[in-house]
Structure 1
Amino acid sequence: MINGDISKIKSNRLISSYIKKELNGKFINDAIQITYNKLDKDLEKIYKIFEKLNIQPVAENNANVEIMRINDEKEKFVTFSKKAKQIRNNNCDVEDFESFIGVVSKTLIGRQLYPLQLLSAYHLAFSQNACNFSVPGTGKTSVIYGAYAYLNSLSKESRKYVNKIVVIGPLSSFAPWENEYKECFNKKINSKRLTGIDLKEKKFFLETDTDIELILISYQGIINCKESMIKYLKRNRVMVILDEAHKIKNTDNGIIANTVLSLAFYANSRAVLTGTPLPNGYEDLYNLFKFIWPEKEVLGFHSYQLKDMTKQKLDNRIEKLIDNISPYYMRIKKTDLENMPEPIEIEPVMVKMDTIQRHIYDSLESKTVEEYLKNGKSSVLKRLRSAKLIRLMQVASNPGLLIKPIREEFIEYNSEYDFDITSMGLVNEITNYANNNIPNKFIETENIVRDIIKKSQKVIIWCTFVDNIKGLSKYLKDVGIENKVLYGGIPVNNGADEIEGSRENIISDFHKVDSEFSVIIANPHAVGESISLHKVCHNAIYFERSFNATHFLQSRDRIHRYGLNKNDEIKYYYLITEGSIDEIIHKKLWEKKQRMEEIIEKYPIPLFDNANDDFGDEEIRMLVKKYVERTSKY
């Protein structure tokens, strides 16, 4: 209750409206009654109003005690934040840091953390709650286990003590978390995957005491068992990890984000892991730090202000934002790693189209360019972005991929594909090609693969289209090259039952010295993140690519990661169909790659802006330009 001369407050319509709407306040005669939600935050807002109106408040005894407690907590958090920032800047208490290293070294008997990993783990152990924005391939999982090892070694009476981990992440991250634990601690972890089981079983497990140390659950999977997870967190001393945490960036009341954020209050320790904290803008930071410190406003800005900063690239508030969050996150870049080998970029293999493929491609390209020039981008750009450029990408690799949209268009009368081929002659040409021809890219891929496996080496082949993964796999098997495939349709083990041919089994078999296959064909969209192949595979072939730079960089990191030797040769091979959209994709991806890597190295929190967009106006203009250049020669 606020009593006294409140005339200044009542006369200010904006502030009086704010008190009513934001603070649930009621004006009763010469007093203001406020039903508070969170006392410390509401008091802070009230005092800001007093300061703005130059009002000197006098607190009564009971209120004064509460205000003193709140101010004391604020001072403690300021002191804590200063120390966390000192640790981040490698200005540690030497004795305490050495003690931490001693505990971690004795516990992580299978893994020796490098200096920056130790510093990051120490920062998390001290803070209990922190973000790790290190780039892919720098060992974020090992950092978490380092911090966990220390917190788990503390007395059970310590408020920092934890003895269980919950990882919320993509399905592809489950096996790496289990495998990394075994490599770090030299023992298998007792884990449970809460996927592939019915809701009743999931809830029963969470509401029953078990000796399970690690729980793995997906972002989608957490939605329908939130209350059961909260009960689990209340009963146990749990470190909650958000892996690939950019998936909760939605600040517009997204169900996944809201569900995950509601768990934060009940975790003993919280960690956020993502190498791309700002895929869209500064607003993407909002939920990440809200999860880390749900009762603190560490950002210092509202989400709408962060969105405004994204639009205003030179906004002077950005520097303040970065400074505000600096105590609460760590980040390791690739250039911070010692003894990382420089990857070898093999000169792209220019693949010539055969006569039939050339005619099919030219026919579709001319129609696409003609429609664009005739109608202008306003009416056809959306369609070009979805169907037409994808068709050109498919034909550049394998015209047989058009059989499916032809069937949809002509047999099932489904216009979803917007295939728009009016020439039955061209349809017959595509059909005959699919039945009788082997794409030249298949043959060139075979040649590269044979050279690699002759040296007793392994290789991963990246494809954009699933039907090309299947077709290339069959072709290689037909010519005697055993291989396995990884894409969205390949199942993930749920932990209860071992699924034959699962992603985990394929990756595990690939790592074996006596593996029956040395080739994996994969889709970067499905498995471009969370898997590590660098210990056994140093070659990657890009059969085809899209304009998406994020998928490209993530796929490269599967074989170029911390743990390599300085003398290891990491090789990237590229197949580019001559005189096709492949050339534009290669050029644009390389430009985006260089720009993104420059941003990663230059800025403390990299904002990629549109560097990873699939395609837009510029790409279409390049397509038109290339088409004109090529056809003008005829």
Structure 2
Amino acid sequence: MKMNSKIQLIHEDGQFRFVDNEEQDLRSRKVKRVFDRYQAYFNDIDRMVLSTGLTYVELNELIDKVNTKIDSFVELDEEVRGFISQSRYAIQEQQIAGVTIKNYDDRWTKEINRFEMIVNQEISRPLKEQQVQASFYMAMMKKAANFSVPGAGKTAMMYGAFAYLSSPELCEVNRLLVISPLNAFEAWRSEFIEVFGEKRQLNFMNVKKYDNPGDLRTDWGMANVIVLNYEALSGWKLNTLNSLIDEHTMIVFDEVHRIKNPEGKWARNALTLGKQARYHYVLTGTPIPNSYKDIYNFLHLLYGTEYNSFFGWSVSDLDESRALEINEKLQPFFWRTNKEDLNVPAADPDQIIKVNPSHDQKMIVDTIYSVETNVLGKYIRLLQASTYPPLLTEKINVKELGFLKGEIDFNVESSFNSFEKDGAKKNAYLNLNVENIKTPKFKKGIELIQQLVSEGKKVLVWGMFVGTMKAIQRELQSNCSYPSIWYINF
């Protein structure tokens, strides 16, 4: 269709491209120089085809730039105008939906009743009232976060949304891909069985176990729940998953706080996963463990194309000075069930027992400050010395402490690994006879356990170091009154 403008932006065969009329205005030197300035927007500048990943914001920017540089006015065809209009209002509509669903607005009554009816047909274990509303919210939002506290049932909430979206009435999704820590795999497997019972068969797929793309591709079509850990989301597995994921795949990033570092490798890989999927969710009970910068990655996971147009914060913008603005803009896009919603009684106040260090411990502290070469090492050694000094003669085990690979400085880890080679450092602790020192804190802890058990109570003891837990176990088992004592290394 011929337009009055000499230059047109059209959408054709799934591509945006510039065309001109018979006057061939695009071929003039002046126009060519203008477009050459903006090559970054193009996939094929010779054919004037724009990059497929452009957002409506970037498209508008390019149109404005071109219009200010040339005499001709860029005319937009109907499909281009529709794309810009629809994209502009999509996230605003989601914002309104998020607010109204969270406020239990009456306008959603009919939809939520239908949702609950369909979900109850699909599952065997009914969702709790709070879980129904949360699942409905997640299903309607398509892209959202769940920040509910531990124990609220975030996995069950996601399975509620999955049950609805994968039901015969909807057929929106057919499989669930979960990226999570390894220790969460079993929860996703067992919770599916609990929620769906005999109504659905679980076809569980652990991508970590696959050694080649061929086997992964073969089994993909049969699986309805697929899991992979953040560390393994790279290389051929990432590439193969991206080739298999389609618009009917629901993607969940569980414990998303694990990839909060905007510069982290795991986060960069996760941000490239499954752009074609329509349903993306992030789950964590600790959304902002350190600062507002921790939300940067998960917002990009959810709203990559809309982030700049709606949120628009740089990493440096995300600080306490903008807390009110950030909280207000973020509020519609996450669900949170708190302890009050679950009728969990308030925690009893801590009863802190203060124990003064012994003379031996004071000498150990002086030695720690003189022989340890980095701040983290000193801190860990002080923790060990406070309860069980024999640990000072052993190398610091980074994995035991729960540090994530890639989140600890290499030089620090190297200094831990070189401990056994550094005879002087180890001898400094051995000379203090640390292997035979029992601290007042350790003794008081044993006494407290014995007292509580004598009162007929069960006791759960938390510890940071496996060596300390084993020492407590040995101490208690030396008394025949404590035949059944177990320790669990998390």
TM-score, normalized by length of structure 2? 0.75
Question: Against the structure 1 CA distance between its residues 457 and 292, is the aligned structure 2 distance closer, same or farther, given a 3 Å change threshold?
Answer: farther
Give the superposition deviation at 1:130: 1.3
C-alpha distance after superposition, 1:365-399 (max 9, x if no partner) = 34667x7xxxxxxxx9x946222232222111011
Look up the equivalent residue of 2:465 and give its one-letter code. F
Look up the equivalent residue of 1:112 and give its one-letter code. L
Give the superposition deviation at 1:257: 2.1
Q: How does 1:118-157 map to 2 (within 5 A)?
A: 118-155=132-169
Which residue does the alignment assign to 1:330?
Answer: 335
Question: Against the structure 1 CA distance between its residues 102 and 54, is the aligned structure 2 distance closer, same or farther, given a 3 Å change threshold?
Answer: farther
Give the superposition deviation at 1:301: 4.6
Distance 2:483 2:40 in 1: 67
Give the superposition deviation at 1:125: 0.9
* Unaligned segments of structure 1, at least 5 residues: 11-15, 372-379, 488-526, 528-634
C-alpha distance after superposition, 1:456-490 (max 9, x if no partner) = 76443211122212322333344334233333xxx
Question: Against the structure 1 CA distance between its residues 459 and 176, is the aligned structure 2 distance closer, same or farther, given a 3 Å change threshold?
Answer: farther
Q: How does 1:458-607 map to 2 (within 5 A)?
A: 458-479=458-479, 480-487=482-489, 527=490
Which residue does the alignment assign to 1:519?
Answer: none
Look up the equivalent residue of 1:223 and give its one-letter code. S
Distance 1:331 1:466 in 2: 34
Residue 314 in structure 1 maps to residue 321 in structure 2:
yes
Contact residue 181 and residue 230 of structure 2 kept, 8 A: yes
Task: Judge which range, 273-282 or 160-169, deviates more.
Answer: 273-282
Q: How does 1:168-567 map to 2 (within 5 A)?
A: 168-187=179-198, 189-195=202-208, 197=209, 199-200=211-212, 204-209=215-220, 211-224=222-235, 225-234=237-246, 237-252=248-263, 254-297=264-307, 300-302=310-312, 305-311=313-319, 313-315=320-322, 319-335=324-340, 337-351=341-355, 358-366=358-366, 383=373, 385-404=375-394, 412-414=420-422, 419=425, 427-430=430-433, 433-434=434-435, 436=436, 438-450=438-450, 452=452, 458-479=458-479, 480-487=482-489, 527=490
C-alpha RMSD of the superposition: 4.1
Question: Against the structure 1 CA distance between its residues 443 and 322, is the aligned structure 2 distance closer, same or farther, given a 3 Å change threshold?
Answer: closer
Distance 1:257 1:108 in 2: 33
Task: Judge which range, 75-84 or 87-96, deviates more.
Answer: 75-84
Distance 1:410 1:249 in 2: 30
Percent identity of paired positions between Structure 1 and Structure 2:
22
Contact residue 112 and residue 136 of structure 2 kept, 8 A: yes
Contact residue 388 and residue 419 of structure 1 kept, 8 A: no
Distance 1:288 1:469 in 2: 36
Tell me the matched-pair count: 439
SS state at 2:155 partner:
helix
Give the superposition deviation at 1:108: 3.8
Distance 1:141 1:265 in 2: 23
Question: Against the structure 1 CA distance between its residues 35 and 390, is the aligned structure 2 distance closer, same or farther, given a 3 Å change threshold?
Answer: same
C-alpha distance after superposition, 1:148-188 (max 9, x if no partner) = 12112243xx4x62232121111111122223223333457
Which residue does the alignment assign to 1:43?
Answer: 59
* Unaligned segments of structure 2, at least 5 residues: 1-17, 397-415
Distance 2:203 2:455 in 1: 39
Question: Against the structure 1 CA distance between its residues 181 and 64, is the aligned structure 2 distance closer, same or farther, given a 3 Å change threshold?
Answer: same
Look up the equivalent residue of 2:316 and give its one-letter code. D
SS state at 2:280 partner:
strand
Give the superposition deviation at 1:106: 4.1
Residue in structure 1 matching 2:97, options 53, 62, 83: 83
SS state at 1:349 partner:
coil
Q: Which is bigger in relative contact order (C-alpha 8 A, separation at least 6)? A: 1
Give the superposition deviation at 1:276: 2.5
SS state at 2:117 partner:
helix
Distance 1:222 1:392 in 2: 36
Distance 1:172 1:411 in 2: 30
Look up the equivalent residue of 2:112 and give its one-letter code. F
TM-score, normalized by length of structure 1? 0.59
